Amino acid sequence: MSEEIKAGALPEEEKTPLADELLDWAEAFVLAIFAVVLIFIFFLRVVEVSGPSMNPTLSDKDRLILTHLNYTPERGDIIVCNSPGLDKCIIKRCIGIEGDTVVVDYNNNCVYVNGEKLEETYLGEGMKSNLPVFDQSFLTDKNVYTYHVPEGTVFAMGDNRNHSTDSRSSYVGFIKYEDILGKAFFRFLPFGSFGSVK
């Protein structure tokens, strides 16, 4: 009577429960790593905040997770995008989407979108009107700037309005949809600020 044993396999009587369990754990670990890699390739990205332009909402060195699959920008979203004018990635809040009219009124320290005043509870301080980066071509009144957001673009501003180079600046301007890398939705570092971002 002859028994055939597959190459690399232990005969049934030589297998141990510990070997089975270790093999199961190894398979589960490899599958989990593979799943995480696929999720981050196709659905998510990790970014680090650089600079104070989103204070107090986000701080320098915060680590965020972005979603980018089938993402369409919405007002209020925190977005990360390529900025060809600055030759780097920036993180800002989407204020206006294509077709919107955004009015930035420094006299009354407020922003209007399509005639409605934004309730911006996330701001730390009021806006100053003497920042040198403003694109003067949008000046419609003393310290009032009006922007008509073109198709396929958004108008975005940093929450730290006095220390943000954003869509108000000719260096950034309107941000094209194809330059948007995704929406930031979760902060995982520092641990003290762990959680969703809005």
**Residues 105 and 111 sit within 8 Å (Cβ to Cβ):** yes
Q: Which of 6, 50, 59, 92 is catalytic?
A: 92
- 53 as an active site residue: the answer is yes
Residue 154 tokens, joined = 């958004």
- In terms of DSSP bridges, do strands 175-176 and 153-157 run parallel, antiparallel, or are they unpaired? antiparallel
H-assigned helices in 47-177:
none
Q: Which residue's structure tokens are 């060195």?
A: 61
Q: What is the DSSP letter of 106?
A: T
> Active-site residue among 2, 15, 50, 53?
53
12 to each of 9, 33, 50, 90, 121, how far by Cα in Å? 9, 30, 58, 59, 67
3-state secondary structure (DSSP) of residue 4 = coil
Cβ–Cβ under 8 Å, residues 55 and 184: no
Q: Hey, which residues does 154 pair with through a beta bridge?
A: 97, 175
Which residues participate in catalysis according to the annotation? 53, 92
